[in-house]
Amino acid sequence: MENPGDTIENPVMKHRVTFLKTTQETGGQVLSMEYTIFPGGRGTLDHIHLKGTEDFKVLSGTLGVANGDPKNPVMLKEGESAHIPIRVPHRFFNPSDTEAVTFLFDLKPAGRFETFLRTYYGLAREGRINASGAGKNFFQWFVLVNITDTYALGIPARLQQIIFWILSRIGLLLGYRTIYPRFQPGGKG
């Protein structure tokens, strides 16, 4: 995965990510990105991480961040930042339909999130992600989600881990993968 400076785009979500520090170069400790959500782009759903923290610093535009209180997001302007501790419900989004927001985004520890992003964005470019942002193929989606430390609100995370693990194993048996060479730096096929 070693390729700081690589840029990938997700046309469904209307996101662009440029990798500043990759998981390989940091030994999985940090994934650092310049992240853009274009006007009308989808934000994330409310979620938690059991292991990872997130840090945001706005470079341009306005970033909506719901940090602990999904009903009361904070609007961060250029130069402002936010820190999301582990197990705190949160989401982020672009509140504007006319202006892009660009921000620095760090995930610590990174785990396999870079792999998830490269594959997820690649699937989106191939039309394999639906308008809501989920995978069109049920089993492929769970193979991918299983490698993240991301859990929806309303269902115990431990139960989600069990469900993700079972469904991802079925997906792997059916031939779905987390890594496809065509989505990796310099990848083909």
Query: To which H or E segment does residue 55 belong?
Result: strand 53-60
Enumerate the β-bridge partners of residue 135. Answer: 129
At 1 the pLDDT is 47
At 186 the pLDDT is 73
List Cα–Cα distances, 71 to 40, 66, 132, in angstroms. 20, 7, 20
pLDDT in tens, 137-183: 999 999 999 999 999 999 999 999 999 999 999 999 999 999 998 99
Q: Quick check: helix, strand or coil at residue 135? A: strand
Q: In this structure, are residues 36 and 16 in contact, taking their beta carbons and an 8 Å threshold?
A: yes
Q: Taking the CB of residue 41, how many other CB atoms lie within 10 A of it?
A: 20
At 101 the pLDDT is 98
Task: List, in order of start, the domains of the chain with CATH numbers.
Answer: 7-108 (2.60.120.10), 127-183 (no CATH)
pLDDT < 50 positions in the chain: 1, 189
Rounded Cα distance between 30 and 26, Å, is 6
Backbone angles phi and psi of 157, in degrees to 5: -55, -40
At 41 the pLDDT is 94
Tokens representing 149? Answer: 């430390």
Beta strand 31-37 with 15-21 is antiparallel
Task: Give the burial string for 17-37 (b: 16+ CB within 10 Å, else e).
Answer: bbbbbbbebeebebbbbbbbb
